[in-house]
Amino acid sequence: MDGDTKHLIYRIALPEECSRIREALETFFYPEALLNVSYTDQQTAAPAEEEVQHTLSLVQQGMAAIAIDTNDHNQQIVGVSIARCVKPDTCDDLLQEAASLLGHGKRVEQLKLQAHLERLANVCGRFRVRRSYHVFVLAVDPTRRRNAIGQKLLEFQLARAKTLGYQVHPTSCL
C-alpha cells in the first residue's frame, strides 16, 4: 500500500494506449473478474479474446478512464474503469452477437448472461431514459488498493457521464 496518491492523475484513456490497458486488464482485472474465473468449461482463467477486443473497442470510443502513477518513469497504469452505453435494445444486441459467434464458448455464455442481466435490470425502462452509462470494469492494481483509486475512477466516470448527457449511470463489475 502506497498511501500517497498525490502523484496519480485520472484521465480518459487515449486510443493509442490500448496495449498498455490490455496489459493492465490482464494483470489485475481478468484474473479476478467473476464472469471470467467462474466459467467452468475452461482450464485457464484467461479471458476470451473476443471479450478483450470488445473491451478495448470501448477504449477506442473514449469510454475508459485510467489512473496513472506520474512518479513512475513508465507512467504505470494503476487503475482502469471502462463504461458502455446501454440502450433499451442492448439485450437484443447482446443475444444477436452471441448467436453470430456460433457454439457455446466462454464469450457466448458471457454475452447470454449479460443480456439476461440487462433484461432483468431494465435500467432504461425503469428510469424512463433512452440510454444509460454503464461502468462495467473497475480495476485497481492489487499493490495500490486501499488508496481510494477505484472510488476516484468511479467518480471520474460518473462526472464524465453527466458531461456526456447521461441521466442514469449504473455500475456492475462482473
HSE (side-chain half, CA atoms, 13 Å) at 55: 30
Q: How many CB atoms lie within 10 A of CB 166?
A: 19
Q: Where are the domains of the chain?
A: 8-82+133-164
Comparing 26-30, 40-44, 48-52, 163-167, the range with the smallest average pLDDT is 40-44
Beta bridge partners of 80: 66, 139
Cell digits of residue 137:
470494469
- Cell 461502468 -> residue: 135
Segment 23-52 mean pLDDT: 74
Whether pLDDT at 3 is above 60: no
Do residues 109 and 39 lie in contact, with contact meaning Cβ atoms separated by under 8 Å? Answer: yes
Q: What digits encode the pLDDT tens for the residues 54-102?
A: 889 999 999 999 999 998 788 899 999 999 888 888 888 888 888 887 7
Coil/strand/helix, residue 5? coil
Lay out the sheet containing 132-140: strands in order across.
8-12, 64-69, 77-86, 132-140
Cell digits of residue 83:
463504461
CATH architecture assigned to 8-82+133-164: 3-Layer(aba) Sandwich (3.40)
Do residues 21 and 78 lie in contact, with contact meaning Cβ atoms separated by under 8 Å? Answer: no
Structure letter (DSSP) for residue 17: G
Q: What digits encode the pLDDT tens for the residues 107-164?
A: 787 788 888 888 888 887 888 888 888 898 899 999 889 989 999 999 999 999 999 9
Whether pLDDT at 173 is above 80: no
pLDDT at 34: 66
What does pTM read for this prediction? Answer: 0.83
Coil/strand/helix, residue 29? coil
